[in-house]
């Protein structure tokens, strides 16, 4: 536009030139709809011209060009009328609307397909969860002297525990944590759990059993995944426990009011080396309890926002020592898990109680 200090006539001339330039562009440019709208805006702003008056002026452009050419003795080709310009602009608008409608339809199709895939994935995850639950001990069957709990941070879990009788008064047990989370961890968990139950029916020595499972995991593991695991056998009549650990957190042996001992790992996790040896450790429960757990318990946050860690674990175990065995694992987890049940990692806990 003209400078603020320009004379009135100069300002008007600039406005007329701007409007004339845009009016001419209506007949030259491709986007005629935008050009027409700009002309209407400028004429209304500068000269208070209505839309109907604007269209009349635009209609005169083609006629004026033909008359001027005739007066000057020039020959020009057939001029496009304003009605033709409007039809072209409306056709372009219709094409744009169709394009928008097609994009909307394609978006609806993509969203529908996404929802179908999500629903299918949800069904498959629920099925995987049910398969995992079938690999854990039946929660409805309470065996004397042993109990456990598994809480998953995601739909499927990388933790598991198991126990089953191996002769009169003897019980085989294990607790394990697969590296990582999600479906990969869940698949390796299912394989390890199946190997423990299948091979453990014939091999009652925990160290030898872990060595067998380790070789199988090493041969088929992928992306550097591994499994930390505790395996053992308890004689429920005498209270004697034989325990072997593959890189897992120390099992905690608690008396009625105090810590009796801890049993740290003396071998690496399963799947690291095919020739690993897993030594057994034998001890007496002395009427106390043996607690096996995964790092999800230690990393759980207390009410103050701090993680439980080892000192907190010992304190919590002491506080719940008098809770009946069948209720204790749930009571311990409830004391460290938020009301909304949100977990950062899978949490698994198993308790083996000695004969009083």
Provide the pLDDT for residue 117. 82
Pair 206, 77 in one domain: no
**124 assigned to some structural domain:** no
CATH at residue 174: 3.60.40.10
Pair 159, 288 in one domain: yes
**32 assigned to some structural domain:** yes
**103 assigned to some structural domain:** no
Pair 51, 179 in one domain: no
Which of 36, 69, 97 marks a domain boundary?
97
Provide the pLDDT for residue 36. 80
Q: Which domain holds residue 66?
A: 8-97
In total, how many domains does the chain have?
2
Rounded distance between C-alpha atoms, residue 71 and residue 69, angstroms: 5
Provide the pLDDT for residue 215. 95
**109 assigned to some structural domain:** no
Rounded distance between C-alpha atoms, residue 201 and residue 210, angstroms: 13
Residues 6+ apart with CB under 8 A from 99: none
Pair 169, 252 in one domain: yes
Rounded distance between C-alpha atoms, residue 207 and residue 230, angstroms: 10
Pair 206, 260 in one domain: yes
Which of 97, 115, 148 marks a domain boundary?
97
Pair 14, 150 in one domain: no
Rounded distance between C-alpha atoms, residue 285 and residue 136, angstroms: 24
**189 assigned to some structural domain:** yes
Pair 155, 304 in one domain: yes
Provide the pLDDT for residue 52. 81
pTM, full prediction: 0.67
CA dihedral 153, 200, 246, 252 (to 10 degrees): 70
pLDDT tens per residue across all 356 residues of the chain: 555 556 788 888 888 888 888 778 777 777 777 888 888 888 888 888 888 887 778 777 766 766 665 666 556 555 666 677 777 767 565 555 555 666 776 778 888 888 888 787 777 667 666 776 777 787 667 788 999 998 887 766 788 999 999 988 899 999 999 987 777 778 888 889 999 999 998 999 999 999 999 999 998 877 788 999 999 999 999 999 999 999 999 999 999 888 999 999 999 999 999 999 999 999 999 999 999 999 989 988 877 778 889 999 999 999 999 999 999 999 999 888 765 657 778 899 999 998 76
Which of 67, 97, 127 marks a domain boundary?
97
**281 assigned to some structural domain:** yes
Contact 316, 336 (CB under 8 A): yes
């Amino acid at each position: 536009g003209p400078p603020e200090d320009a004379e009135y006539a100069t300002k008007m001339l600039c406005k007329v030139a701007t409007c004339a330039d845009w009016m001419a562009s209506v007949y030259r440019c491709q986007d005629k709809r935008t050009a027409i709208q700009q002309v209407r805006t400028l004429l209304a702003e500068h000269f208070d011209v209505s839309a109907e008056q604007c269209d009349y002026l635009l209609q005169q452009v083609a006629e004026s060009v033909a008359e001027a050419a005739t007066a000057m003795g020039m020959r020009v080709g057939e001029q496009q009328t304003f009605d033709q310009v409007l039809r072209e602009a409306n056709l372009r608008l219709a094409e744009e609307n169709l394009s928008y409608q097609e994009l909307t339809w394609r978006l609806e199709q993509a969203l529908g397909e996404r929802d179908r895939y999500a629903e299918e994935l949800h069904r498959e995850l629920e099925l995987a969860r049910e398969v995992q639950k079938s690999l854990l001990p039946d929660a409805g069957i309470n065996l004397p002297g042993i109990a456990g709990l598994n809480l998953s941070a995601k739909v499927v879990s990388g933790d598991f525990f198991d126990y089953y009788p191996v002769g009169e008064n003897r019980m085989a047990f294990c607790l394990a944590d697969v590296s990582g989370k999600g479906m990969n961890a869940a698949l390796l968990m299912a394989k390890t759990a199946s190997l423990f139950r299948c091979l453990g029916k014939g091999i009652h020595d925990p160290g030898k059993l872990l060595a067998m499972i380790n070789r199988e995991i090493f041969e088929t593991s992928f992306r550097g995944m591994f499994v930390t695991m505790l395996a053992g056998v308890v004689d429920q009549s005498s209270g004697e426990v034989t325990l072997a650990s593959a890189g897992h957190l120390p099992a905690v042996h608690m008396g009625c009011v105090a810590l009796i001992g801890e049993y740290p790992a003396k071998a690496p996790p399963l799947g690291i080396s095919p020739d690993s040896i897993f030594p057994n450790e034998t001890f007496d429960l002395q009427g106390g309890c043996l607690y096996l757990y995964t790092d999800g318990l230690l990393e759980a946050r207390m009410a103050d926002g701090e993680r439980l860690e080892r000192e907190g674990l010992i304190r919590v175990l002491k506080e719940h020592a008098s809770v009946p065995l069948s209720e204790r694992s749930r009571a311990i987890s409830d004391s460290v898990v938020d009301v909304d049940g949100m977990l950062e990692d899978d949490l698994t806990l198993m308790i083996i109680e000695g004969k009083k």
